[in-house]
Amino acid sequence: MIKNLRITLRHVTESDLPILAAVSGDTAARGEFNPSKIASPHAIKKRFQDTGFSSEEHELFLICNEFGAVIGDVVHFKAKRYSTAREIGWAIHDPDNRNRGYATEAVTALIDYLFNSFPINRIECSTATKNHASIRLAEKCGLIHEGVLRGLIFVGGIYMDDMVLSILRSEWEQRQGKPGTSAQSFASSDSQSDS
């Protein structure tokens, strides 16, 4: 478990599978910028049985609020076969919980966890170029614009361009050493969270 000011990141348990199945079928919970393909409850259960949503390739954490309720998720996975880089993603399921700082706090905690626990030099994310809220969130967490990948994600019947952002270990270390840039200061504001 990873604890921060108001949120806790924890692994998926069997009792969470109905939540994951419900989110998979709910377009509002997934957000307008995430792939629109729905995973079946059977596929979700099989993935849990196979890996528990946690392996060297891919690790999913549920975001729990200060009351212990599951409000979203964060994920990291291998960004490239030939590197140690990790790609991250996030979602706050209920639109009423967006813009409240939860995603910023969760992504900051995930980045800290990855750099503290893995011998990696780079963390990246990609999000639709029109997803201004997630781009702002990534920037607040220290990720820097790198470019646009054209036609990367198929969502709602169209291909969307994605903005790529990243943070290197040296940049993260510099942020850790500056007064006022701790995880607590990043949780003061937040935006919609889809990646």
- pLDDT tens for each residue of 129-174: 999 999 999 999 999 999 999 999 888 889 999 999 999 999 999 9
Place of tokens 């108001």: 6
| Distance separating alpha carbons of residues 40 and 32, to the nearest angstrom | 19
More confident residue, 192 or 3: 3
pLDDT of amino acid 162: 95
- How many residues are there in the chain? 195
pLDDT of amino acid 27: 74
Closest CA to 105 of 122, 118, 92: 92
Closest CA to 86 of 47, 134, 118, 52: 118
pLDDT digits (tens, 9 = 90+) for 110-128: 999 999 999 999 999 999 9
pLDDT digits (tens, 9 = 90+) for 11-28: 999 999 999 999 988 877
User: In the chain, where does DSSP find H-type helix?
Assistant: 17-24, 27-30, 41-51, 102-117, 132-140, 169-177, 183-186
Contact yes or no for 159/168 (Cβ under 8 A): no
**DSSP code for 192:** -
In this prediction the pTM is 0.86
| Distance separating alpha carbons of residues 172 and 142, to the nearest angstrom | 7
Phi then psi dihedrals of residue 69, to 5 deg: -80, 140
The CATH class, in words, for 2-186 is alpha beta
Burial class (CB in 10 A: 0-12, 13-18, 19+), 78: middle
Residue 79 has pLDDT above 90, yes or no: yes
How does strand 58-64 pair with strand 144-155?
unpaired
Please give the average per-residue pLDDT across 99-104, as a whole number. 95
pLDDT of amino acid 164: 97
Range with top average pLDDT, 29-38, 92-101, 150-159, 163-172: 163-172
pLDDT averaged over every residue in the chain: 88
Contact yes or no for 7/105 (Cβ under 8 A): yes
Burial class (CB in 10 A: 0-12, 13-18, 19+), 5: middle
Q: pLDDT band at residue 38, thresholds of 50, 70 and 90? A: confident
* Residue boundaries of the structural domains of the chain: 2-186
| Distance separating alpha carbons of residues 185 and 195, to the nearest angstrom | 22
